[in-house]
Amino acid sequence: MATDLDRPIGDGEAKSDPPSADAKRAASNQGLFRAVNERIRNSNREDEKDPMSLLCECGQAGCVAVITVGLDGFDEITSQPNRFMVELDHLVPEVDRLIESRDGFAIVEQRSGS
């Protein structure tokens, strides 16, 4: 039986339309993944030089992709709360605006209203 979580995100609405339920769900998922990554980050020592394995912060339900990033890189990205790390092919155009591509992942900014 299909649920809301099984449906693809985004339905091609124009940017001027209010966010769809899918976009709102995707934005909420991003926040949940960020909370988990913050806990992982906080468990690492400040002087830790090894990269951390963190969850992709995309809005796609069921995503289990892992992104490797250093502590400084994570802190830089999360210094702006509406920016998230996602796999390169996990952008959700209705929710995300590409800011930068890095080695193996993208930094996206959550569109306002999402």
Q: At what angle do helices 71-78 and 21-42 cross, to 10 degrees?
A: 140
pLDDT band for position 83 (cuts 50, 70, 90): very high
pLDDT score, position 1: 44
State the average pLDDT over residues 4-10.
46
What are the phi and psi torsion angles at 33 (to 5°)? -65, -35
State the average pLDDT over residues 27-53.
82
pLDDT band for position 61 (cuts 50, 70, 90): confident
Cα distance between residue 90 and residue 87, in whole Å: 5
**Overall pTM > 0.95:** no
Share of the chain above pLDDT 70, in %: 77
Cα distance between residue 61 and residue 81, in whole Å: 20
Cα distance between residue 72 and residue 70, in whole Å: 5
